[in-house]
Amino acid sequence: MEFGTCDHVSGACRCPPGWTGPLCEKSCPEGTHGTACSNKCQCQNGGHCDPVTGKCQCPSGWTGDVCANPCPQGTWGLNCSELCDCYNSATCDHITGRCRCPSGYVGNKCQEECPLGTYGVNCTENCNCRNGATCSHISGRCFCKEGWLGTDCSMPACPPNQFGRGCSQICSCEKDNTERCHPWTGECECKAGWAGVTCTRACPFYKFGEKCALSCDCKNGAFCDPIDGNCICAPGYTGKQCSKHCPRNKYGHDCKLDCRCKNSLGCSHETGKCVCRPGWEGQHCSLTCPLGRYGGNCTQECDCQNNGSCDPVSGTCTCGPGHVGEKCEKTCDQGFHGMGCTNFCACVGPNVEGCDPVTGKCICKPGYRGNVNQ
């Protein structure tokens, strides 16, 4: 080795500080220095020491004889030679230079205030200010608008029903419909379900809630509660939105009434009026159709002839004795009589004209009389 010396007797190498090995060819192992590498390095935080002198070479962000101190505030990096580039009194990481924002600021360089409504470190806190007050992006302290007091600006500066400078003016709001009168401007804040400058006007049809800003979702002519928007169903309807008919055989408000129909197809879910089966009429469908009428609501007129009667449901004719046909329009054929023209006439003899198609009574030829039935 160029810097080593050799023992004149044994030939063994005597190494200078910082070197070791048979030929003084190796630098001292990490963490040691000096003659025969017998001294232990004192460097901290990942610092490396010179194998000859033991002087510490500090990594980024550290300084001092043994690298025990972070860079002075405002600097960072190797040998603390970089200047922090942060705003609003923010500090930076002594190793990476990344800005550490103080309360109320965000951004790569802490150049931005917290978004409206938030505050604190990293803007993670929500402001708790009321009545249009703003809050400090740093501390969260509320800055009340005129007319309001308290830590959260929820306390009116005037007694109820008064407003203005010195609380010298009287509010014009309708008391029962008003949540509060603004203590500075006198503006009326209406309760849910009311609107107008003085809260005297109910919400328009199908509107509800604060400032009547919400729209109802009620069906079939239902009334909407102007306060909470609940649907009040018209007679015959039910359900949250009044979209369903009353169950069968029920009608009226809340479907509480029972239909009282006989011989019916049901009743109106709204009024309870019976819907009669064909052939029936009356309030409860308890009456058959009047003579000569048939069908739904007995509106059809029978078309039976020769005193035939018709079925009140279908209108089918039932013929009396002596007649047949769809409308009882045909008289029994010669020689027959009675119901359905099924009976034979019992009249015999040369003087017989025939028999009555209804009664079967013999009809004699002109000039003759009697009951010929032999």
On whether the CB atoms of residues 105 and 88 are closer than 8 A, the answer is yes
How do residues 121-173 score in pLDDT, each as one tens digit?
Answer: 999 999 999 999 999 999 999 999 988 999 999 999 899 899 998 899 999 99
Q: How many domains does the chain have?
A: 1
Q: pLDDT class for 372, splitting at 50, 70, 90?
A: low
15 belongs to a structural domain: no
Which residues, at least 6 apart from 284, have a Cβ–Cβ distance to it below 8 Å?
A: 260, 261, 262, 264, 274
pLDDT the model gives residue 237: 95
Domain extent at residue 323 = 319-374
Structure tokens at 73: 């505030």
368 belongs to a structural domain: yes
Picking from 47, 33, 44, 99, the residue whose alpha carbon sits closest to that of residue 78 is 47
Q: How far apart are the first and last CA of the chain?
A: 172
Q: Mean of the pLDDT values across residues 35-60?
A: 90
334 belongs to a structural domain: yes
325 belongs to a structural domain: yes
Sign of the CA dihedral running 125, 130, 134, 136: negative
Structure tokens at 253: 């408000």
272 belongs to a structural domain: no
260 belongs to a structural domain: no
341 belongs to a structural domain: yes
Is pLDDT above 70 for 1? no
Q: pLDDT class for 10, splitting at 50, 70, 90?
A: confident
CATH number at 339 reads 2.170.300.10
CA dist 184 and 273 (Å) reads 60
Is pLDDT above 50 for 374? no
CA dist 290 and 302 (Å) reads 10
Which residues, at least 6 apart from 32, have a Cβ–Cβ distance to it below 8 Å?
A: 38, 39, 40, 41, 51
367 belongs to a structural domain: yes
Residue 294 bridge partners (DSSP): 300
Instruction: Look up residue 284 and give its amino acid.
Output: H
